[in-house]
Amino acid sequence: MKRIIILFLLLTLNNHVFGVENEMKNSNDKRMDWWREARFGMFIHWGLYAIPAGQWETGTNHAEWIRTTAEIPLEQYDKFVEEFNPVKFNADDWVRMAKDAGMKYIVITSKHHDGFSLFNSKYTEYDIMATPFQRDIMEELANACRKYGLKICWYHSIMDWHHPDYLPRRNWEKNRGTENADFEHYIAYMKNQLKELLQNYGDIGVLWFDGEWEETWTHEYGKDLYQYVRSLQPNIIINNRVDIGRSGMQGLTRDGGYVGDFGTPEQEIPPTGLPDVDWETCMTMNDHWGYNKNNHNWKSATDLIQKLADIVSKGGNFLLNVGPTAEGIFPQPSIDRLAAIGQWMQLNGEAIHGTGASPFKDLYWGRCTQKQIDAGTRLYLHVFTWPEDGRLIVPGIYSNPDRTYLLSHKINELDIAREEDKIVIQVPNIAPDSMNSIVVLDFKGRPDINNPPKITAQHDIFIHNTNISITSERENITIHYTLDGSEPTINSILVTGEVRLTNAARVSARAFRDGKPVSRTIYVDYKKVNPRPALMKIKKMPGVRYNYFEGSWDSLPDFQSIDIKSKGIISNFDISIRKQNDFFAFMFEGLIYIEEEGIYSFYTDSDDGSRFYIGDQVVVENDGLHSMSEASGSVALSSGYHPFLVTYFEKGGGNQLIVSYEGPNITKQAIPEAVLFYQK
């Protein structure tokens, strides 16, 4: 009887837990519905930084970061408040341009990193009401958005270069002491401003946080702020920059229980689709977020339209930026591109709004989006490269559409023919749209898409042998493969389980059904290598050598050509011994002990750039300006001691370096001090 009671309680608990999880998922889905339907929004970066328009003294490459990049003292930057008077600003004009471009929401900087508030706040005098303009820009935009049916959303910076209680200071601010600064007071101030933004302007679609990467902001702060915002507007959407889980400019949330409703890739598009993950690429039209009068490097309308299709075909949203002038108008090149996008969207918007990710892994001529229709599925083929011979080939599709037509000419159907795993659509010789023409395929039920098989192994190199897996998500197929790179046929080797390699091979695989190919062929190379020999007869001591440098770089410098500020021995890759928080670099050098011969993977997770060497071989390349971003590489090592080198630099923002590894009988972990040595 006791066992029955315990079993009943366990089942009740499980049902309760699963019920809560399902309820949370349903609630999240309901909250995200409008955002997933929208797919396209406008970002607006506007503030005091529009006045210098990217130029300070002889420098012309500044923008919204100008106070830091030009090292402008606070008292001097604050004078812009007296000059900010955007008399040409018209909220209706801005919102109409967004609406006409096919955008469904606007995200505007209520406060950027410089701390200036574009809204009427009773908690600061550093706001729009202190300027000659004295009009609440947020109120006017919120009203205009509701008038034209768009969602108004706020960008809000966690980082604040103006508030006396925000920490840390910029390293160049020699005259701003921190003795009386209280970060908790700053958080209270930020929450008060957020309460104003969420209670004074009606329903807000998204709260888009930024500036979370400095060491003062923690996971605990992020969770608390997420819940605080949710308590004020339960249905609001909050991006992942509220917490510290964002992985570099790729913008997706790392494992670790971090909060946030969607990922935020910045200036880049993930290379593949991300199933069951909400994400939004934010991108500039030129090279800057804020207005820069000297920047004329504008992306073309064609490029932006194709980027929109690429992002949506991978299940994401596109947040396209405009940086208004100090007068309150959009730059003419932005207006021109919005108009061109709008003209395309007017005819083709149904291939963007409310669509989901492509069922195809890749299409050499363009992209695909899809949506559910009555008792079926509609595929929108976005053709960037129009076939000169009038034959549009759609690979890896085993079912035939009921109807095929151009979105621009819905009445006339297109002829199709089948060639093995492909259908060939007869299209006009001239593309309906030179930027992106849409061909529509309607299917009953779900189309039978046969993407190529997946070939996977732990590494693409091996010492003695390795096992590879060749799999497919499709049913009712067989997979045949070769090891010499030749095209598999129905007579090639049948996949029945893992394949063991003892020699280098180019593995080719293809799916078949009823004896006929139903996917294209995929190829993966595997290389047999000799392990790097260990050093012999060495004198060693625990720890690693370090050299510390100071300077400003956009990538890893030539360390041999710059002066060393300090050097010594430490136990691990500890950058906390730096003398300043920005504009510094380290070089760590030593030996790593490898207990067992095998393939080892090394990782650097850094903000900004880093690189990892074994001997003279670059194993991990993670260079460049970015927030926390992980890169990895693999190398074959014999047992014993191997020389390594880690290089790292930090220009501005956060500063962190994590060096990890995994290998035979070693799960991924930060490299322990016990295996680090330096040579005497």
How many residues are there in the chain? 680
Eight-state DSSP code of residue 308: H
- Per residue in 560-585, pLDDT tens? 999 999 999 999 999 999 988 889 99
Q: Residue written as tokens 């964002």?
A: 246
Q: Residue written as tokens 């591109």?
A: 337
> Quick check: 526 pLDDT over 60?
yes
The pLDDT score that the predictor gives to residue 535 is: 95
Summarize the chain as % helix, strand, coil (round to 5).
25, 35, 45
466 with 526: CB under 8 angstroms? Answer: yes
Domains and CATH numbers, the chain: 36-343 (3.20.20.80), 366-444 (2.60.40.1180), 454-528 (2.60.40), 540-679 (2.60.120.1560)
What contacts 77, CB < 8 A, 6 or more positions away?
48, 67, 114
What is the mean predicted confidence (pLDDT) over 225-232? 98
- Rounded CA gap, 610 and 134, in Å? 46
Q: Residue written as tokens 């970061």?
A: 65
> Quick check: 18 pLDDT over 70?
no
Q: What is the 3-state secondary structure (H, E, C) of 35-46?
A: HHHHCEEEEECC
- Rounded CA gap, 419 and 424, in Å? 7
- Rounded CA gap, 510 and 523, in Å? 9
Instruction: Work out the percent of the chain whose per-residue pLDDT is above 90.
Output: 84
The pLDDT score that the predictor gives to residue 561 is: 94
- Rounded CA gap, 599 and 632, in Å? 13
> Quick check: 50 pLDDT over 60?
yes
What is the mean predicted confidence (pLDDT) over 299-316? 97
> Quick check: 634 pLDDT over 90?
yes
CA distances from residue 513 to 397, 510, 522 in whole angstroms, order as listed: 12, 10, 17
CB contact burial 392-421 (16+ within 10 A = b; e otherwise)? bebbbbbbebeebbbbeeeeeebeeeeeeb
> Quick check: 249 pLDDT over 80?
no
The pLDDT score that the predictor gives to residue 654 is: 74
- Rounded CA gap, 121 and 100, in Å? 31
- Per residue in 110-132, pLDDT tens? 999 999 999 999 999 999 999 99
pLDDT grade for 655, boundaries at 50, 70 and 90: confident
| Beta bridge mates, 634 | 601
- Rounded CA gap, 673 and 619, in Å? 20
pLDDT grade for 3, boundaries at 50, 70 and 90: very low
What is the mean predicted confidence (pLDDT) over 289-293? 97
> Quick check: 20 pLDDT over 50?
no
Q: How many beta carbons lie within 10 A of that of residue 191, not counting itself?
A: 16
- Per residue in 365-383, pLDDT tens? 999 999 999 989 999 999 9
> Quick check: 645 pLDDT over 90?
yes
The pLDDT score that the predictor gives to residue 251 is: 83
Residue from 35, 50, 43, 268 nearest 155 by CA: 43
CA angle (182, 183, 186) in 5-degree steps = 100
Peptide bond into 608 cis (omega under 30): yes
The pLDDT score that the predictor gives to residue 27 is: 59
Q: What is the mean pLDDT of the chain?
A: 93
- The H or E element spanning position 590 is strand 584-594
- Rounded CA gap, 507 and 470, in Å? 10
pLDDT grade for 217, boundaries at 50, 70 and 90: very high
- Rounded CA gap, 95 and 146, in Å? 10
CB-count burial class (<10 Å; 0-12, 13-18, 19+) for 243: buried
What is the mean predicted confidence (pLDDT) over 322-349? 98
pLDDT grade for 26, boundaries at 50, 70 and 90: low
